[in-house]
Structure 1
Amino acid sequence: MDLNTIDEVAGALDAGAWRPGDGWLAGGTYLFSEPQPHLRRLRDLTTLGWPALTETTDGLEIAATCTIAELDAYGPPLFGQCCDAFLASFKIQYVATVGGNICAALPAGPMTSLVAALDGSCTIEAWSGERRRVAAVDFVTGDGITVLSPGEFLRSVFLPRSALAARSAFRRGSLHTLGRSAALVIGRVDADGTFVLTITASTRRPVQLRSATVPSAAALRSRLSDLFRPDDLWLDDVHGLAAWRRHLTLRYAGEVRDELAATP
């Protein structure tokens, strides 16, 4: 879609101070998918030349401008499962970025699911150069809402080696065969036995449960009931009613628990 309100496209840090009407541009697949009448100038993050993926002894740094195709090619099965959850053509996957999907803050955004499930840490930067860190599970706070302030952008997400090495299980469901995710549940068990369950798509923000060991089926269901006590946490839209999403989520959570409990 043409954005006919845009007067200028500039380098990310070459356009001076942040001003009303500015917007950050990376892949642009979401940005150009619908009208953006509030935008007047785009600041292109790809001009900063960040390496897409940087491995260290401590983990993996994923630049916000890393494309879905680049992440998918990296290798781990969970990465591929989350990349496939886009249900997007290869053309989109070669342009869409990890950071763009996270910052769009769609409940069904699978990059949010991935980085939250693997204890990601988000580096947030302002146009002035100031930085701060936020846990990936806390980055999206609601449907289309993030912790970003005006002038800030997502620089990268760091995934710790311990989470990358964990055993994982993945479940995803949608209203239609090629529909948007209605519930996406990822579980993992770390080397020390810690169990982490992350729920997205069915809820307005990521929800995470931790346990020192894999809980019993009854204990998991009880803890999830406590987590989901606020009724407004569930998403209710054309892609699935709240009651159905809740049912699907609880079913998938149980399946993930069973799979991880049965795997040595």
Structure 2
Amino acid sequence: MDLNTVVELRDARRRETWRPGDAWLGGGTYLFSEPQPHIRRLVDLSRMGWDPVRVTPTGDLEVAATCTIAQLSRFAREQGGRWAAGPLFEQCCRAFLASWKIWNMATVGGNLCNGLPAGPMISLTAALDGVCRLQAQDGSTREVPAADFVIGAGLKVLQPGELLRSITVPARALAVRTAFRQASLYGLGRSGALLIGTRDPVSDEFVLTVTASTVRPFRFRFPLPPNAEAVHEAVAYGIPPQDYYDDIHGLPAWRRHMTFRLAEEIRRELLPDSR
């Protein structure tokens, strides 16, 4: 879609004063999908030269905000069986149900910064204890857990002019066993509920991450393997009724029902010996 209110495109490598009407341009799959009458300038990130994804010397996985879904998917597949959590990357990438054009343009950072409940990169990074590195206009940085980056439907913790630089997944999180569940009203529809469970091979901690059915990520940690009642109570009392999302892709009552159902499926998959 043409953005006929945009009067300037500038290179993000040039430091200029951020002003109202500016917007960061990554892949642009959302920006160019609908009218953006408030935008006057686009700040292009495509020439920043950031490595799309890399493994740090400490074994952590650092994903640049400009990394495309195709690049992340390809990198995870190339790692083979290196990480127990490896299959989760492809599962979340496939949750887009998008065309190859979107896969090759949409960015990980853009998916997080849209803050939509169905954003699968939000689900992935929150479930694996990802940490977002945010960069202000003066060059200073701060870190925010990926699970806390989105605070509501379309709402983020970003300040005006602040940039999501990268997301780091710690090495220990890459070693967890994972279970993935997704529900949609249609075969190729947007996620109405997307839940991820993890089990730490060292501490035996079980963590359930709820996204898509809710306006923001919810995480439930169980130091000891929980039974069905414990998981049900955690979800029932931990997610306020008003935080279940309501749109054409699913009513809150249905999303809540699917959340309970998928949570129990995940618990049984990762904790087969627990009742």
Shorter-chain TM-score: what band?
over 0.9
* In 1: Cα distance, 2:262 partner to 2:52 partner: 32
Deviations 1:159-186 (A, max 9, x none): 0111111000000000111110000000
* In 1: Cα distance, 2:108 partner to 2:28 partner: 11
**Does 2:139 match 1:138?**
no
**Does 2:125 match 1:124?**
no
Structure 1 residue runs without a partner (length 5+): none
What's 2:3 paired with?
3
What's 1:45 paired with?
45
What's 1:181 paired with?
191
Aligned residue for 2:46, secondary structure, equals helix
What's 1:109 paired with?
119
Aligned residue for 2:256, secondary structure, equals helix
* In 2: Cα distance, 1:113 partner to 1:83 partner: 10
> What TM-score, normalized by structure 1, do the two folds share?
0.97
Shift of 1:46: 1.7
Moved more, 50-59 or 139-148: 50-59
**Does 2:156 match 1:156?**
no
Shift of 1:262: 2.1
What's 1:82 paired with?
92
CA contact (8 A) 1:15 1:43 kept: no
* In 2: Cα distance, 1:130 partner to 1:254 partner: 43
Deviations 1:112-167 (A, max 9, x none): 00000000000001122111100000000000000001000100000011111100
Structure 2 residue runs without a partner (length 5+): 78-85
What's 2:62 paired with?
61
Aligned residue for 2:245, secondary structure, equals coil
Residue identity opposite 1:69 in structure 2: A
Matches within 5 A, 1:166-245: 166-191=176-201, 192-228=203-239, 230-245=240-255
Q: Quick one: percent identity of the two aligned structures?
A: 56
Shift of 1:15: 5.0
Q: Post-superposition, which runs of at least 4 consecutive aligned residues in structure 1 deviate over 6 A? A: none
* In 1: Cα distance, 2:7 partner to 2:14 partner: 15
Deviations 1:37-79 (A, max 9, x none): 1001011112211000110223100000000001111222100
| CA distance 1:112–1:170, change in 2 (3 Å) | same
Deviations 1:64-103 (A, max 9, x none): 0000001111222100000000000111101100000000
* In 2: Cα distance, 1:15 partner to 1:130 partner: 13
RMSD: 1.2
* In 2: Cα distance, 1:152 partner to 1:89 partner: 30
* In 2: Cα distance, 1:31 partner to 1:214 partner: 43
Moved more, 106-115 or 73-82: 73-82
* In 2: Cα distance, 1:95 partner to 1:237 partner: 26
* In 1: Cα distance, 2:224 partner to 2:31 partner: 42
In structure 1, which of residues 70, 93, 102 is the aligned counterpart of residue 103 of structure 2?
Answer: 93
* In 1: Cα distance, 2:204 partner to 2:164 partner: 31
* In 1: Cα distance, 2:237 partner to 2:140 partner: 38
Aligned residue for 1:262, secondary structure, equals coil
Shift of 1:17: 0.7
Aligned residue for 2:47, secondary structure, equals helix
* In 1: Cα distance, 2:136 partner to 2:6 partner: 22
Aligned residue for 2:221, secondary structure, equals strand
